[in-house]
Structure 1
């Protein structure tokens, strides 16, 4: 099997929205992993869920564990440049041919599972491949991001050292429910007996549900809001975020090379989570500070110092849209913004655009073509901008849309590419291939 063959097979498995609605989907994942020898049980894991911030929190935890000298697997989603990014060890994605070889080796298990249950989904196949890769490469520990929700997510086969829920907001409501309480109930399904669950959830109705689910499961509940003090301070001109983070165990001087004050909340969550690890895995204060200073994760308020500055951010739900808007206000007060936006069908584009319309902004809406992932129509996006009193243009081709946005913007304005991982991935890759020789990122969040 070649890497092209592997990609073609995976494209044929894309129908995740239907798959995630199947009540037996977790049993399908368990069966697939049993056929593979339960690779996820061969190393300790950290399990991180939440509506927003879980990818960044995972990246921070993995960076700290690497600074501690451990061999660290990392599974997050979605990927930006290549599907191989979903199985990384010490920051390095699995090789393309190794990916293809591993998938070919998995095919008997996939076929056996399909004969009894149904064919494993795109997401489940990639997750199982990551689990198997980490076992084969003998990682010391793996950090695993929840896909959607928690209770029936494919990652909920884990027996982790510690769990975390970063926050609870409105996303994937067609799967998780239409209230914060329902969404929190599903996300808190990752709680396990005796396994600490760290939460930065601040909305009282969601927090109450999570606390109750933890009590029922016998999982110690630790609130970042109650236990961690975060005191930001000026970083002497450094680009990023600095703060004193104090827990009941230690104080840390955190120097994040990331934009957006919300990343300090993610850092606090990662620190409290890491403090719950057993000896041998628990990092020192020095490793925490070093790992956080070295963390990188593309596509989160990632800015390039051109004229105008160009920012890439994968915000694709209202909570992430608000975090992005707050970060833009913090980093570039008084500046104007031109947004290049494409949104997947089914996402709350109306609310996202309403959030961004509160900025001094104009919009260039665009589309994308991805198998199994239809885009929201451009006329609909324009109607949302018009309702917010904002000027917009509609250009189907993303590269042309970015070019138009850059021409529309003044030299001191900020061009922001956002709304969908697919649009950000395509335009970020184009930017790196065509413009990155003259500009380098100021931040990798």
Structure 2
């Protein structure tokens, strides 16, 4: 590939998925690349929601402790390069080109040996990431799972620590229709004798994870059982809590984020950080934990873009995340009028998601559409406004930019505008506001 655009076209030109869920292609890629996945110190993070926030919290605590931290995340919010980053800085266009040229000849060999069954887009990108970090660009690499866990292309890694944030309903076409089935897939990242930290998970799916951990002789630490948090009231766009585990308490931990779910995410990250540092015998104190968490911002997760009127974006794209939005509205904005502009991908549970928000008394719901990512269409919500049972009026405006203008003309300075439904959608919105 001669330049960045050619490299991106090559990556995006790969098939998105195959009918069979197999690790064969990824294992072959790793073998032909000399097993770069075995040459990094990794923390592997799975879960329905919360992965991005846990990765961000972990990265900042590890950086505060003096480590160079690589991350592999998805999707990107502003630029593709974000997916492979070092200390939060995306790798360069030139590195994307170099890595594509490194991986492409091997992909071509596999294509020839496996006609119509060659590596997917995500497998190619994952191979690029492992090849890059095997070169020594980071002391530790936090690897975020794409979908599920057991058959995800990242699952060739043998980490120092595994993390499962939450279990909820999403990607059911791949993971099954019960929380226990979904948990079984995500528990696939648990490796023999490798510690695993899990978040606030219901009894049924947690039992599945516990069983897998026992089978693999993997020590397990669970939020609400082995470590705990207690929220403390604090004014402003913050959260404050106390963390406790077998080592004692960490008091007055502050976050520059809003939402109970972020307290849970931070707790999981703290426990994962402590266990990783203890494993590596790297000394730290609680000030490092507090500093790392307080410095963490996570774009697109209940992110404030404007103060007056208050404009918030959130990438909530499944039912568990929409329920957290509902909770935030009730907890923080019950006395204010909320205008919600919502656009969702067609393969999501968009009707139940809309119904949750439509039932809130202080919500004005505006449905819209956006151009989805390559080969993933946005839901056609034009007829949905009339099919949802709601005491509130639901409006449809097909152009999301026009929807923002329309809402802006209706709002007062005391009202709140929340734009949500898809990380891909709020990526477009964020770019508009940041221009």
Coarse TM-score class (shorter-chain normalised): over 0.9
Q: Which moved more, 1:195-204 or 1:145-154?
A: 195-204
Residues 164-193 of structure 1: CA deviation (Å, up to 9, x unaligned): 111111000000001111111111111111
Note if 1:139 corresponds to 2:138: yes
| Of 367, 377, 381, the match for 1:378 | 381
RMSD: 1.7
Note if 1:36 corresponds to 2:43: no
Alignment correspondent of 2:434: 432
| TM-score scaled by length of structure 2 | 0.94
Cα displacement (A) at 1:308: 2.2
SS of 2:369's equivalent in the other structure is: coil
Alignment correspondent of 2:225: 226
Cα displacement (A) at 1:102: 1.5
Q: Which moved more, 1:109-118 or 1:161-170?
A: 109-118
Contact 1:202 1:225 in 2 (8 A): no
Aligned equivalents of 2:311, 2:136: Cα separation in 1: 38
Alignment correspondent of 1:442: none
Cα displacement (A) at 1:10: 2.3
Cα displacement (A) at 1:79: 0.8
Contact 1:165 1:201 in 2 (8 A): no
Note if 1:193 corresponds to 2:186: no
Contact 2:359 2:391 in 1 (8 A): no
Note if 1:260 corresponds to 2:259: yes
Cα displacement (A) at 1:293: 1.0
Aligned equivalents of 2:330, 2:417: Cα separation in 1: 13
Aligned equivalents of 1:145, 1:346: Cα separation in 2: 21
Contact 2:86 2:137 in 1 (8 A): no
Contact 1:65 1:283 in 2 (8 A): no
Cα displacement (A) at 1:432: 0.4
Alignment correspondent of 1:52: 49
Alignment correspondent of 2:365: 363
Contact 2:45 2:55 in 1 (8 A): yes
SS of 1:354's equivalent in the other structure is: helix
Residues 227-267 of structure 1: CA deviation (Å, up to 9, x unaligned): 222122233x3531111111111422311111112101011
Alignment of 1:243-392 (within 5 A): 243-252=241-250, 253-277=252-276, 278-281=279-282, 283-359=284-360, 360-369=362-371, 370-384=373-387, 386-392=388-394
Note if 1:101 corresponds to 2:98: yes
Residues 61-100 of structure 1: CA deviation (Å, up to 9, x unaligned): 1110011100100111111111101001011001122212
Aligned equivalents of 2:310, 2:270: Cα separation in 1: 32
Compared CA separation, residues 330 and 27, structure 1 to 2 (3 A): same
Q: Which moved more, 1:324-333 or 1:160-169?
A: 324-333
Structure 2: runs of 5+ lacking an equivalent: none
Aligned equivalents of 2:297, 2:131: Cα separation in 1: 25
Cα displacement (A) at 1:281: 4.7
Aligned equivalents of 2:397, 2:136: Cα separation in 1: 45
Q: Which moved more, 1:315-324 or 1:329-338?
A: 329-338
Contact 1:89 1:134 in 2 (8 A): no
Cα displacement (A) at 1:14: 5.0
Aligned equivalents of 2:136, 2:333: Cα separation in 1: 43
Contact 1:46 1:142 in 2 (8 A): yes
SS of 1:231's equivalent in the other structure is: strand
Aligned equivalents of 1:198, 1:228: Cα separation in 2: 10
Alignment correspondent of 2:178: 179
Cα displacement (A) at 1:113: 2.4
Contact 2:162 2:195 in 1 (8 A): yes
Alignment correspondent of 2:238: 240
Contact 2:358 2:394 in 1 (8 A): no
Contact 1:336 1:414 in 2 (8 A): yes
Cα displacement (A) at 1:127: 1.9
Contact 1:274 1:282 in 2 (8 A): no
Alignment of 1:18-97 (within 5 A): 19=18, 21-24=19-22, 26-97=23-94
Aligned equivalents of 2:84, 2:321: Cα separation in 1: 24
Number of aligned residue pairs = 427
Contact 1:73 1:143 in 2 (8 A): yes
Alignment correspondent of 1:411: 413
Cα displacement (A) at 1:140: 0.4
